[in-house]
Structure 1
Amino acid sequence: MKPWAAAAVLLLALTAVLAGRYQALRLHTAWDQQVYLWQRVWTPQHANALAASRDLFSTLRILGLQVHPREGYREIQVNTPLLKQDGRPLWLVVRLDGQLKQLDEPAIRQRLLQLLQRWQAAGLPVIGVEIDHDAATARLPEYQHFLQQLRQQLPASLQLGITALPAWIGSPALPGVLQQADSSVLQVHAVLSPQQGLFDGRLALRWASQYAHLSPNPFRVALPAYGMGLVSFDAQGAQVESEASVRVAGSTQELSVAPQQVADFLRQLATLNLPRLHGIIWFRLPLESDRRAWSLATLRAVIDHQPLTADWQVKFLPQPNGLYDLLIQNNGPVDAPLPREIGINASRCLAADAVGHYRLETTAEQARFIRISGDQLRAGQSRPLGWLRCQQITPGGTYVVP
């Protein structure tokens, strides 16, 4: 092959690769983005969170009713004036706990329809009802009957949606369940085991691909934007702690999902070009006090394909008598684990100490702050690191080890 011909072939191959990547990015960008509001107690922080998220999420999916074997029926007192003012389309989500031994179908439908009527009477722009039920695979026929009866009682103007579990894939009863709903949401985040964490991108891709070829109707994928704690309180088991404390004594193992992990999954998902995949639903809308949820800045960075790198800065706040209070600040676009180590070159130090998640090691020329416990620092926020009283702090002599 002549050199010019080889170059032409190489150029064509490179063009094809770039075109494929552009097409994947375009599909990823075009996906509809929605979000779950899952807080059981509404606070004034919801107003700020909704206002700041208006340009990110087209639709809100709001937990309105929960049915639990021990707690019974629990209606969530949502802020209806705030949601009416927000104006975005919303779904009423009903959570039927998977531990329910059986579904009291007439009672559940009655409570659901009564709540729906109250939401509509308050002027909320409800476009659908979503049933979130982690049914055991063996009970899918029973679940299909419940959905079939509910569909007949719902107003024809409303959509009926369900959440779906990867464990249902392969069940001969799944097609019958999916036929009762106008759309579905595949949940690819769960605690399979503490070792596997909350999210496995490789498994999630496989599940989404399999589900896309089974679903007869549009579906979306629910992705995690949060962490949780597994509280071990006895030898038999553990309890999940997320946005609220479970208020039991025991050791807590924190599980989290890295933003880069989810961003990588989204890029790969876009290349599959799955039929009937209409968008992404994020769990959950973060509030300022929700320490386990990603910040809205992090969610925005992942959705907008921004570089997900931390940018650490050590701030020196001068105080009287040569004292400096120290802060570690996250200037990057995403939440990140606190740095493992921070070093400050300084001499003739009279005293120093670390606070919070760090301990201090000192030499004649340096103060080293070593992380002793892990935690996340949200994008744009800072946290006390410690303090120094030194006669000489070397300009530019500070380093951070992520």
Structure 2
Amino acid sequence: MGFSIRRWALLFPLLMLAGCGQPEAPALDQQLYIWQRQWLPAHQHALRDSRADFSTLRVLALQSFPQAGWSRAQVDAHLLRQDGRPLIAVIRLDGQLKSLDSHEVIAQVQHLITDWQGQGLTLAGVEIDHDAGVARLPAYRNLRSELRQVLPASMALSITALPAWLNSPELPALLSSVDSSVLQVHAVSDPRTGLFHVEQTKKWTAAWSRKTSKPFYLALPAYGVALLPASSGGPIVESEVPLERDGDRKELMADPQQLRKLGLELRDNPPEHLAGLIWFRLPLANDRRAWSLTMLRAVARGEALRSQVTLQLSEHQGLFEISIINSGNLDSPWPERVTLAASACEGADALAGYSMQQTSNSLTFSRLREGRVAAQGQRAIGWARCAKIDQGASHVDP
């Protein structure tokens, strides 16, 4: 009537295997670029809310441009000390520089390190970001080798690299002079074709993994840009800083659904030497061309993405504040139209970005321009002084 001990011993491992699925692949390391030149109070909240999901901060520290020369980013050392995550200082050398003065670059980097250490910051590494043309890679390699010799052995040295370098015979020597590389796969082609291409990124990543024997990261986009028409040549790109130019703007935004899927694929089947992902850039509350931090965290985690935009009314003595709220984890376009069942309204108006039409029993707010409601965010679209607004009979139309 029961199993023998021997039969049970043979069956038990099979039952255990049947009850356990394949273990999930470990998550890739996720890091953040902080790219604001001037730090703001909003950095405090962004750093606090990003701590659980992003291991390391790569902070824009120093830049060199033609004519303009060298400039320091005004970082908040107190916030960085308080945050406590590993820090990598990024030195941006503009790709249009006519030449690289290695002595000047090294002196600037050493001065930066001394200054940051004097402010109580411990650097885990230095990253050089230089969009050099292929023909200039030998000079760039020499700079890297000289810099490696003067940096402390404990301080990692990395470079931001371009897919265009893949076929250069200089690439192996360049990669051998650094501890790791960051392959930039966004905004590297004609902006009119978009910020990012998934299939091309997969090809570049696979090719890079065959070129390097050291850890490398992918720099992925979590932002958008606007394209403005130019009198000749390609379009003008507007990013974090608004440009004082007229003309219609074509908005481009990195697709979070594509990037979530890519992240999951890379986690489940990582190319050799891929160490992690670095997201550009840490979003602040007032950064209108960056993903919300809520959405960035959801993409980094591989969560299913959805937006849920609803109407929210706040009433005080007959005065209604009318807002739209997004309770999902996916940023959403402003609704095209919001229609309220309203009666006995003495006055009403729309706020910037919407227009308002009123009838005897309704208020309709219509979108005038493009905009986004951040995940877990809200936006006021108007106000009304009415005897009654029936929220249940009102509609939000995409």
- Provide the TM-score with structure 2 as the length reference: 0.87
Q: Give per-residue Cα distances to partners, 1:35-86, cap 9 Å, x unaligned.
A: 1111111222222222222222211111111011121111223222332232
Q: 1:40 corresponds to which residue?
A: 37
Amino acid at match of 1:355: L
Q: 2:99 corresponds to which residue?
A: 102
Name which of 329, 333, 336 aligns with 2:332.
336
Structure 2: distance between partners of 1:238 and 1:122? 41
Q: 1:145 corresponds to which residue?
A: 142
Name which of 327, 342, 353 aligns with 1:357.
353
Structure 1: distance between partners of 2:47 and 2:321? 35
Structure 2: distance between partners of 1:378 and 1:125? 34
Amino acid at match of 1:165: L
1:187: how far off? 0.9
Q: 1:198 and 2:162 equivalent?
A: no
Q: Structure 1 residues 288, 394: CA separation in 2 closer, same or farther (over 3 Å shift)?
A: closer
Name which of structure 1's ranges 361-370 and 297-306 shifts more when overlaid on structure 2. 361-370
Q: 1:5 corresponds to which residue?
A: none
1:141: how far off? 1.7
Q: 2:323 corresponds to which residue?
A: 327
Q: Is the 8 A contact 1:45 1:287 kept in 2?
A: yes
Q: 5+ residue gaps in structure 1? A: 1-14
Structure 1: distance between partners of 2:67 and 2:238? 17
Q: Structure 1 residues 268, 161: CA separation in 2 closer, same or farther (over 3 Å shift)?
A: same
Q: Structure 1 residues 119, 317: CA separation in 2 closer, same or farther (over 3 Å shift)?
A: closer
Q: Is the 8 A contact 2:263 2:300 kept in 1?
A: no
**3-state SS, counterpart of residue 249 of structure 2:** strand
5 Å matches for 1:1-20? Answer: none
Amino acid at match of 2:121: L
Q: Is the 8 A contact 1:129 1:158 kept in 2?
A: yes
1:313: how far off? 1.5
Q: Is the 8 A contact 2:64 2:71 kept in 1?
A: yes
**3-state SS, counterpart of residue 156 of structure 1:** coil
Q: Is the 8 A contact 1:233 1:251 kept in 2?
A: no
Structure 2: distance between partners of 1:52 and 1:109? 35
Q: 5+ residue gaps in structure 2? A: 1-16
Q: Give per-residue Cα distances to partners, 1:15-45, cap 9 Å, x unaligned.
A: 99x967x64xx34xx2111111111112222
1:395: how far off? 5.4
5 Å matches for 1:5-154? Answer: 23=24, 26-27=25-26, 30-154=27-151
1:381: how far off? 2.2
Name which of structure 1's ranges 230-239 and 80-89 shifts more when overlaid on structure 2. 230-239
Q: 1:381 and 2:387 equivalent?
A: no
Structure 2: distance between partners of 1:371 and 1:261? 27
Q: 1:230 and 2:227 equivalent?
A: yes
Q: 1:311 corresponds to which residue?
A: 308
Structure 2: distance between partners of 1:307 and 1:361? 37
Q: Is the 8 A contact 1:328 1:382 kept in 2?
A: yes
Name which of structure 1's ranges 343-352 and 371-380 shifts more when overlaid on structure 2. 343-352
Name which of 258, 261, 265 aligns with 2:262.
265
The number of residue pairs the alignment matches comes to 381
Q: Structure 1 residues 124, 101: CA separation in 2 closer, same or farther (over 3 Å shift)?
A: same
Q: 1:167 and 2:195 equivalent?
A: no
**3-state SS, counterpart of residue 288 of structure 1:** coil
- Provide the TM-score with structure 1 as the length reference: 0.86
1:308: how far off? 1.4
Q: Structure 1 residues 350, 76: CA separation in 2 closer, same or farther (over 3 Å shift)?
A: closer
1:205: how far off? 1.7
**3-state SS, counterpart of residue 352 of structure 2:** coil
**3-state SS, counterpart of residue 213 of structure 1:** helix
Q: 1:10 corresponds to which residue?
A: none
Q: Give per-residue Cα distances to partners, 1:98-157, cap 9 Å, x unaligned.
A: 111111111111111111122223321201110101111222122111111211121112
Amino acid at match of 1:339: P
Q: Is the 8 A contact 1:344 1:366 kept in 2?
A: yes
Q: 2:394 corresponds to which residue?
A: 398
Aligned-residue Cα RMSD (Å) equals 2.6
Q: Is the 8 A contact 1:88 1:125 kept in 2?
A: no
**3-state SS, counterpart of residue 195 of structure 1:** helix
Identity of aligned residues (%): 44
